[in-house]
Amino acid sequence: MFRAGAPVALAAAAIAAAAVALPAPAASAHGGRPGHSSDVRFATFNASLNRGTAGELVADLSTRTDAQARTIAEIVQRARPDVLLVNEFDYDRRGEAARLFQDNYLSVGQGGAEPIRYRYRYTAPSNTGIASGLDLNNDGTAVTEPGSDAYGQDAYGYGMFPGQYGMVVYSRHPIDYRHVRTFQKFRWKDMPGAALPDDPSTPAPSDWYGADELESVRLSSKSHWDVPVRVGRRTVHFLVSHPTPPSFDGAEDRNGRRNHDEIRFWADYVRPSASRYVYDDRGRRGGLRPGARFVIAGDQNADPADGDSHAGAIRRLLGSPRVDASSVPSSRGAAEAAASQGGANLGHDGDPRHDTADFADTAPGNLRVDYVLPSRGIRTVRGGVFWPVSSDPLSRLTGAYPFPSSDHRLVWLDVRP
């Protein structure tokens, strides 16, 4: 069933457990499921289920006792998404971690929540921690031995071993595995007008990478996936990614520029007139066909009003004529956290209710970086951010630094395709 080096597409065989709605107050605050039968809940969650060494996540999930995994699973069970992207979930070639998280955590009721079973899941290789053999941080050494920060800096995507910070999709609706498209190996230079980083010590523009390096440097820090999901008679393309943080670099701004172009990729992909340059890992060219329905999801590491991201990085996507960005998920917990932490949050221009990540008042403060964005033509019903206020008993799942789950919050949107 598995081939080395190939994407791992996994369809769980067991019958899905019945979804049980939360009591009304919790449903209102955290997204329990009393909605219309045709509503589909799409969600994204940077769950921070990454580990420091290869195989460690599989080992942790092989038991049912990992405290963080139990907390993450309970959040998912409380929110009950139908289609879910999990960012920062270490990739392994056999898909063991993805299976174990379902079997040992999601399928087991946590903290009084009902189990949730996804019959379909998809995961595939990530650029994180894959050795490039190149000196991509220009420190004079191309590091090819995994396990160090220096290795991560020279990998195709930052990671100390192959697959660290990967991602996985879980779905209650059938995934059309034959038509999944991945863009792991798309070269950055092949994007017209790419915002390539510049070496500030030379007069030449966009010359941080040499010509030979540009033949190898990939756009995606993890990958970009187009995962078609069958919802009744319709197909909704679940467009998922996790652009690099726009920081941890120097004046060349290689991460900030990469973040900008990783986000731009989807803005181009959903517009046929702008996506002719795109090619996937099988060599097929072009983006979505006209009129195709989609939901873009992921930790984009960019806030439209605050933070360190490249100017206009996320605004280009939010302003796309093919994207409906009118519904902005929010929470009372995010507003409470910004007010109680103060500090950097006090200087923000954005509405703190829309924040999705709690950076514990470390610069640049809490931000809106996680998105679920449907295409125009899909009706949005409601949405939210799983961020309970401190007086809510469920705030134990999000907490304060050091977080029991993740510094990001699950973001969901109910749509009627």
Q: What share of the chain is helix, strand, coil (3-state, %, to 5)?
A: 25, 20, 55
**In this predicted structure, what is the pLDDT of residue 72?**
99
DSSP letters of 85-137?
Answer: EEEEE---TT-HHHHHHIIIIITS--TTPPP---SEEEE---SBT-B-SS-TT
Q: Which of 4, 5, 16, 32 is nearest to 102 (CA)?
A: 16
Q: Catalogue all structural domains in the chain, each as residue range(s) with its CATH number.
A: 8-128+163-416 (3.60.10.10)
DSSP helix/strand/coil, 365: coil
pLDDT at 270: 98
pLDDT tens-digit readout, 255-272: 999 999 999 999 999 999
User: Which ranges in 55-95 belong to alpha helices (H)?
Assistant: 56-61, 67-79
Question: What is the per-residue pLDDT for 341?
Answer: 95
Q: Locate tokens 């800096």: which residue?
A: 153
Going residue by residue through the chain (417 aa), what tens digit of pLDDT does each one get? 323 334 444 444 332 332 222 333 334 457 666 567 789 999 999 999 999 999 999 999 999 999 999 999 999 999 999 999 999 999 999 999 999 999 999 999 999 999 999 999 999 999 999 999 999 999 999 999 999 999 999 999 999 999 999 999 999 999 999 999 999 999 999 999 999 999 999 999 999 999 999 999 999 999 999 999 999 999 999 999 999 999 999 999 999 999 999 999 999 999 999 999 999 999 999 999 999 999 999 999 999 999 999 889 999 999 999 999 999 999 999 999 999 999 999 999 999 999 999 998 778 999 999 999 999 999 999 999 999 999 999 999 999 999 999 999 999 999 999
How would you classify the pairing of strands 225-231 and 234-240? antiparallel
Q: How far is CA 220 from CA 9, 79, 135, 188, in A?
A: 20, 29, 18, 8
Burial 273-286 (b: 16+ CB within 10 A, else e): ebbeebbbeeeeee
Q: What are the start-end ranges of the E strands in 161-259?
A: 167-171, 181-182, 225-231, 234-240
Quote the pLDDT of residue 94.
97
Residue type, 157: G
Tell me 322's DSSP state.
T
Strand partners for 230: 235
The pLDDT score that the predictor gives to residue 13 is 35
pLDDT, tens digit, 9 for 90 and up, residues 132-182: 999 999 999 999 999 999 999 999 999 999 999 999 999 999 999 999 999
Q: What is the pLDDT of residues 48-70, one digit of tens each?
A: 999 999 999 999 999 999 999 99
